[in-house]
Amino acid sequence: MKMRGSKSKRSKFLSLIEKNPRVIRDMGEGAKILYLGAGAGTTLRFMLELIPHSHVYAVEIAPKPMRRLLSLFKGNERVIPILEDANHPERYSGIVEKVDMIYQDVAQPNQADIAIKNARYFLDRGLLIMMCKLKSIDFSAPHSKIVNEVRRELEEEFKIDEVIKLPYHKDHVCFVARRRYDEDSGA
């Protein structure tokens, strides 16, 4: 899939892959993905194309985008749509099983907290890709300060591999991280 141009401008996921293709190579065929903030499904379509045989739990809080997502993926057994608030993983814990990756794109002030709560439920070992909208966290603070605060929060549960400034998406950075895993406790 050619990613330059308008597609990368529409999808932060494609912008990330354009900037760092290794991220997608780390995901094997058949990966289980929890997508927080799935919207109407534009990025989800690209994700399914780039990660063969993957299965995606697509969590979206807003009914209107969810209706579009349902229409777009009607009959697609690789997508499990969930109309719910990503702040409350306990509400969909009976539907979602353990996943290989959490992909998060929610514009909330508590973006790191949402990632941590969901990882505690669904990600033993695996990858977090968190698209962080800096202005949603603090409209007036310098970007570097916000990035450092989010990094500190995430480091409670994750080892940060990299923080990537996304092309085409002003005021966004992407945290690529791996869940910390304690061999002794299994957590």
Contact residues for 133 (Cβ-Cβ < 8 A; gap 6+): 107, 111, 171, 172
The pLDDT assigned to 139 comes to: 65
Mean pLDDT along residues 109-123: 95
Residue 9 has pLDDT above 50, yes or no: yes
Residue entry with tokens 């900037």: 19
Domain boundaries, the chain: 6-179
The pLDDT assigned to 165 comes to: 85
Q: What are the tens digits of pLDDT across the range 131-162?
A: 988 767 666 667 688 888 999 999 999 999 99
- Pair 126, 101: CB distance under 8 Å: yes
Give percent of the chain above pLDDT 70: 84
Rounded CA separation 59/61 (Å): 7
- Pair 127, 158: CB distance under 8 Å: no
- Pair 124, 181: CB distance under 8 Å: yes
The pLDDT assigned to 1 comes to: 44
Residue 184 has pLDDT above 70, yes or no: no
Query: What DSSP designation does 89 have?
Result: G
Mean pLDDT along residues 2-7: 49
> Which residues on neighbouring strands pair with residue 158, listed in sequence order?
179
**pLDDT confidence band for 66 (50 / 70 / 90):** very high
Classify burial at 63, counting beta carbons within 10 Å of its beta carbon; exposed 0-12, middle 13-18, buried 19 or more: exposed
Which of residues 21 and 157 earns the better pLDDT score? 157
Q: What are the tens digits of pLDDT across the range 156-181?
A: 999 999 998 887 556 778 999 999 86
The pLDDT assigned to 185 comes to: 46
Listed residue (136, 140, 158, 167) closest to 15, CA to CA = 167
Among the four given CATH numbers 3.40.50.150, 3.40.50.620, 1.10.10.1100, 2.40.40.20, the one describing domain 6-179? 3.40.50.150
Classify burial at 29, counting beta carbons within 10 Å of its beta carbon; exposed 0-12, middle 13-18, buried 19 or more: exposed
